[in-house]
Amino acid sequence: MARSKAIKKQVKHLLGIQNLSVLEAKEILKESQNFIKLNRSGSKKLDVLRGKTQINLFFEPSTRTQSSFDLAGKRLGADVMSMNIVNSAIKKGETLMDTAMTLNAMHPDLIVVRHQDSGAPNLLSQKVNCAVINAGDGTREHPTQALLDALTIINSKGKIEGLRIAICGDIKHSRVARSNIYLMNMLGAEVNVIAPKTLMPDSINQLGVKSFTSMKKGLESCDIVMMLRLQNERMQGSFLPSKREYYEYFGLTPDKLKYASKDALIMHPGPMNRGVEIDTKLADDINVSLVKEQVELGVAVRMACLKLYCK
Amino acid sequence: MARSKAIKKQVKHLLGIQNLSVLEAKEILKESQNFIKLNRSGSKKLDVLRGKTQINLFFEPSTRTQSSFDLAGKRLGADVMSMNIVNSAIKKGETLMDTAMTLNAMHPDLIVVRHQDSGAPNLLSQKVNCAVINAGDGTREHPTQALLDALTIINSKGKIEGLRIAICGDIKHSRVARSNIYLMNMLGAEVNVIAPKTLMPDSINQLGVKSFTSMKKGLESCDIVMMLRLQNERMQGSFLPSKREYYEYFGLTPDKLKYASKDALIMHPGPMNRGVEIDTKLADDINVSLVKEQVELGVAVRMACLKLYCK
Amino acid sequence: MARSKAIKKQVKHLLGIQNLSVLEAKEILKESQNFIKLNRSGSKKLDVLRGKTQINLFFEPSTRTQSSFDLAGKRLGADVMSMNIVNSAIKKGETLMDTAMTLNAMHPDLIVVRHQDSGAPNLLSQKVNCAVINAGDGTREHPTQALLDALTIINSKGKIEGLRIAICGDIKHSRVARSNIYLMNMLGAEVNVIAPKTLMPDSINQLGVKSFTSMKKGLESCDIVMMLRLQNERMQGSFLPSKREYYEYFGLTPDKLKYASKDALIMHPGPMNRGVEIDTKLADDINVSLVKEQVELGVAVRMACLKLYCK
C-alpha cells in the first residue's frame, strides 16, 4: 500500500508500456492477483473507488475492452459513465480536445480512452487533471492488453522470464503487438515476431525481437504463440493476396503448432477471425488455448490499473 | 426462502414458460408481490443483488423491456451493464457464441438476452456458467411478459383459474402469444386465440386453445382481452390486405368489446399501434385498460426473476 | 431544509425560468454552492437520492448536458437510466406520450427531458407523477443552463444585480438566450441582446431587454459577454450570408471585446464554433473566458435541481 501511493504520485497516466518501469509493471500484475479471486467469488463489489468518477471515452467501438473497463470500475464502486463518440463528420483533434476540456471540468478521477489516432491519449493527458488510461490508440499501444497477457502467461506457465514468445500476424498495424513486445522484453522473455513481409515493420529488429516470415522457423521452441487479429480492411489492397492464402501460410493450425514447444499455449486478443488467422477447433481447445483466461484476467488487470492510477 | 434456494438449484435459466413448473411460476408471481410495494414506495433500493453482475444483452432494440430489466437490476443493487448489439453485417450465430464466451469469462451472475432467433437464449445458456433470462427470442417465447400479464390479471381479477382469456392478433409470429398460452393454461384459464387465417399457426389447437377467425365468436364470455402488436413488416406482402381492413375486422373497438363479458379488461404488451389493432380511446380508458398496470408490474416481475434465478 | 420542502410541494417541475420565482431561483443557486465543493473533493458521493430513480430521456443528442445530469444523479446516489431516443421515423407526439406513460408506470422520481419541440416537457409533466426537469426544449427554454450561467457570474463577479450582460448571436432560435433573459432580468441585471436582424425576434423588446444589431453599441459597458452557438443549419438559406461575414460582424474578437467593460468576462454554453462566433484564442484565454467554470458549475446546479425537485 505504501508502494502504491509512491507510484501514484510518480506515474499519473497509463499511456503505454513504453513509459512503464519494471517495478510498476510488476506492481500492477501483483495487485491484479487479488482481483482474480474477487471476480470468481459470489460477491464482486468493493468500495475502493466509491466517490470516484470514471469516464469511458470511446472514439472507436469496442465491445470487449469497454465492457471489461465498465465492469472493473463498477465492481470497485466507482460511478462509471460511458461515452461512445462516433466522429466521422467532425474534425477529430478538435472534438477530442473540446471533449477533454468539457469532461475535465466535471472533475472525473479517471478517463479511460480509446482513439483511432496514435498518441491521442498522450495529448489528452496533457489537458486534464485526472488519470488517463489508454485503452488502445491507433497502431501505437494497448497497455492493459499486454498486462493481461502477461498475467495470463504468469498464471499458466508460472513465470515469463526465460520463455520464448511468438507474436504472429499483422505486426505492422498492431498496437497489441507493440505493447506486448515492450512488456515481454521488459519481463525477461525472448520475443519472435512472424508476419508476411508486407505486414512487418522495417525497423522491427530495433525493438529487440527476432523477425521471421516463416511460421516454421518463427515458432521453433516457443512456449507461447500469440496470434493477432487480421483486420478486414487490410485484406483489400496490396497487403495480402487472399484470406485463404493467408490462412495457408500464417493461420495457426494443429500442424503448424507442432513447430512450437510441446507444451506451447495459444493466445489471441479477440475477437477471432476463425479460419483466417486461427483454426476454429484450436481456438476452442481448452487444453492449449488461453483465450478465455485472457478475457477473465482482463477485468482483474483493469481493476488493478483503475485502483493504482486513480488520483 | 428455503423453497427459493431449492428452485435456484433445479432451474438455472428462465428460457421459457414451457420449461416452468406450476410451482415455479407461482413462486415467481408470489415473490413479485413484494416488489410492487417497494416500487411504489419512496425508497426503491435493496441490497439483494449487491456484488452481483447483470448483463443486458440486446440483439434487438427494445426500449420497454430493456428499461424494465435495467431498473429491476439497479433497484436490487446489482451492477448492471447494458449491451446493444446490432449485428446486421455479422454472422449471427458466431457473434452470439463468441460474445457469450467473452461475457461469461467476465463472471456475470445474470445474462438477460433478447435475440431475433428463436432458441438463441437456450444455446447461450449451454455456453455460460450464469443464469440466462430470456427477454424475448424470435417467435418462440417471452416468459417475463407472460408472467407480468399473469400478475396483472391476478391483481385485477383476484385469480386466473377459471377465467376465459382471449388473445387476438398475429398469433403466428408472436412470442408473447406463445408464452401466454402456456402460462394461462398452466394456471387454469381457458384460452381463445383470434386471428385472420394467414396469421394463425396450423397446429394451434395442439396447444390446448380454441381458435377463432371472428372477433364476435372468439370474444364471447371472455374476462380478459389481450391484444397483440401488429408488426409493420407483416403489413407488406401477402399476410394482410391493409391496415384499415385489419382494423375493421380485428381491431378492438368499443363495439367489439361488447362481445366479451361485461366486466372484461383489456391488455396489450405495447407499444400499441393505435387505430390498427386497438381504438385509441379504448387503449387509454383506465376503466377497462390494464396497459399501465402491465408496465408497472413488469418491473416487479423482473425483480423477482432476477432475484430467484441469480446463482 | 424547511424551505426546500415548501418549494418541493409548490413547484413540482422545473420547466422554465419563466415559471420560477426569485426566491426559488435563489434557493437553487444557494443549494448549488454546496455541491461545488463536493465535486472538487476527493469523494464525490452522497446518499441524498439513494432509492430514487432518475431517467434521462433525450430525444435530441447532447453529450454535454446529458453527461452533466448523469454524473449529477449518480453522485447523489440515484439509480440513473439514460434513454436516447432518435425518432426520425416515428410520429413525435405519439412517441413522447406513449414513452411518458410507459416510463411513468415504472415509478421514476425524476425525468430529465430534452426534446426538439418547444413545450414538450410541459406536456410530459401533465402525464406523469414525478418531477420533470427540462433539459432544453426546442427554441423555448433551457433553465438549468441559465441557472449555471447565473451561478458562474455570481462566483466570478460577486453578484448579478446591477451588472450589464450582453447576449450575442442567434437570439431568435436560442433557448439559452430566452432562459438567460428571464433569469438575469429577474436577478436584477440589465440585458442587451445583439444579433443580425434576421436572427432577432420581432417582439424582443417586450422581454425587457435592449436590442442591438451592432456589437460596438451593444457591448458598451457590459460586464459579461455571452456568446451563443451558431447552429450550422442556420447558415444555409436566407438567415445569414456566410460564416466569414458573420464572424466579421458578430464574431467575438479581442478587438470587439474592447467595446465592453475593461474587466468584462466571456461566456459560451458550448460546444463552440471557433472562428465563427468566437475567436479561438479568446475562447481559451483563462483570464477572460468562463467556459470551463460554466461546465464545472453545471454539474453542481443540476445536483441542486435534482435534489430540490425530487418528489
What would the pLDDT profile of A165-203 be if each residue is shown by its tens digit? Answer: 999 999 999 999 999 999 999 999 999 999 999 999 999
A 10 A CB-CB count for C130 gives 23
pLDDT for res A311: 73
Residues of C in contact with B275 (CB under 8 A): none
Determine the Cα–Cα distance for residues C236 and C238; give it in Å rounded to an integer: 7
- The 10s digit of each residue's pLDDT in C68-86 is 999 999 999 999 999 888 6
pLDDT for res B235: 63
Computed on alpha carbons and rounded to an integer, the radius of gyration of chain A in Å comes to 19
Contact A67 B83 (CB under 8 A): yes
The separation between the first and the last C-alpha atoms of chain B, rounded to the nearest angstrom, is 14
- The 10s digit of each residue's pLDDT in C4-13 is 444 444 448 9
Candidate from A228-237, B149-158, C208-217 with smallest mean pLDDT: A228-237
pLDDT for res B241: 75
Q: Note whether C190 and C163 are within 8 A (CB).
A: yes
pLDDT for res B93: 57
pLDDT for res B89: 43
pLDDT for res B234: 67
Length of chain A: 311
Mean pLDDT of B166-181: 97
- The 10s digit of each residue's pLDDT in B233-286 is 666 667 777 888 999 999 999 999 999 999 999 999 998 999 999 999 999 999
Computed over every residue of chain A, the mean pLDDT equals 92
pLDDT for res A62: 86
- The 10s digit of each residue's pLDDT in B53-66 is 999 999 988 889 99
At residue C241 the predicted structure's pLDDT band, cuts being 50, 70 and 90, is: confident
Residues of B in contact with A63 (CB under 8 A): 83, 85, 99, 102
Contact C63 A83 (CB under 8 A): yes
Determine the Cα–Cα distance for residues A152 and A146; give it in Å rounded to an integer: 10
Strands (E), A138-272: 164-168, 190-194, 210-212, 224-227, 265-267
Q: Note whether B28 and B308 are within 8 A (CB).
A: yes
> Testing the interface with B: which of A71, A274, A276, A290 to mutate, by most B Cβ within 10 A?
A71
Is residue A196 reached through a cis peptide bond, with omega within 30 degrees of 0 on the bond before it? no
- Helix and strand numbers, DSSP H then E, in chain B: 13, 9
Determine the Cα–Cα distance for residues C57 and B254; give it in Å rounded to an integer: 34
Contact B63 C83 (CB under 8 A): yes
Q: Bigger pLDDT: A93 or A167?
A: A167
Neighbours of chain C (3+ CB pairs under 8 A): A, B
* C296: pLDDT strictly greater than 80: yes
Which residue of C81, C99, C101 is in closest CB contact with B292? Answer: C101
Neighbours of chain A (3+ CB pairs under 8 A): B, C
Residues of A in contact with B82 (CB under 8 A): none
Set of cell numbers at residue A94: 478538435
Q: At what angle do helices A175-186 and A143-157 cross, to 10 degrees?
A: 50
Residues of A in contact with B84 (CB under 8 A): none
Set of cell numbers at residue C24: 426559488
- The 10s digit of each residue's pLDDT in B95-113 is 788 888 999 999 999 999 9
The separation between the first and the last C-alpha atoms of chain A, rounded to the nearest angstrom, is 14
Any idea what DSSP says for residue A290?
Answer: -
Contact A295 B105 (CB under 8 A): yes
pLDDT for res C236: 65
> Testing the interface with C: which of B65, B71, B303 to mutate, by most C Cβ within 10 A?
B71
Q: Note whether A132 and A125 are within 8 A (CB).
A: yes
CA distance B9 to chain C (A): 30
Q: Which helix (H) or strand (E) holds C194?
A: strand C190-194
Candidate from A193-207, B214-228, C10-24, C185-199 with smallest mean pLDDT: C10-24
Determine the Cα–Cα distance for residues C152 and B233; give it in Å rounded to an integer: 52
Mean pLDDT of C44-49: 97
- The 10s digit of each residue's pLDDT in C272-286 is 999 999 999 999 999
